[in-house]
Amino acid sequence: MIGIVDYGMGNLRSVQKALEHLGAEARILTAPEQLLEVDRLVLPGVGAFGDGMLQLAERGLIEPIHDFLATSRPFLGICLGLQLLFECSQEDAPSPDEPVRGLGVLPGRVMRFQGEAFGPGRLKVPHMGWNRLDYRVDDPLFAGQGAAPSVYFVHSYYAEPADPSHVSASTDYGITFCSAVRRGTLAAVQFHPEKSQRVGQAMLAQFAGVR
């Protein structure tokens, strides 16, 4: 059984339908105690970092997520679900010196796309559409995909891991940013596999353990 964490951020049904299409059993989880009842866990998400952390806290989901990760069962973060794993974010921060605190599962921070490459007449923010992955490690999530597959992104912020060994893939968009992470049985991606057609379906199949 695959559990999908419902914290009011994002289209949970699209992730559920993508997994069910592959033959996996997937259930949307609405209560904290349900998180430890599943074999694999997905933390999806679309929206702002601060709102995401507020919703996780108000629904009593922060400790259960940590408890699930401590069991070393497979975990997949998607988009905002990747960013929330880090220590802090610039998004919604009252000042650069007061970042919004995240789950703190992975060391590092979440940054906004900014600099000379971005702005009027240059690259747009959010980064939206198809872009390529550059693999950094041999991650089972990407098995059989071939070199530099294209996946679908929608985001204005990106994770900056403190430990480079956690970066499993990167992508170029004005800068080279972390587009996927891996630590043991924990995997997370900045892109949307449920919107990435054949490539994304293959990744979800790898996570779900279906062939």
The residues annotated with a catalytic role in the active site are: 79, 192, 194
| Alpha helices by DSSP H, 30-153 | 49-58, 62-70, 80-83
CA dist., res. 144 & res. 59, Å (int): 38
Nearest to 194 by CA among 32, 26, 31: 26
Q: What φ, ψ does residue 204 adopt, rounded to 5°?
A: -65, -35
CA dist., res. 201 & res. 171, Å (int): 19
State the amino acid at position 9 in one-letter form: M
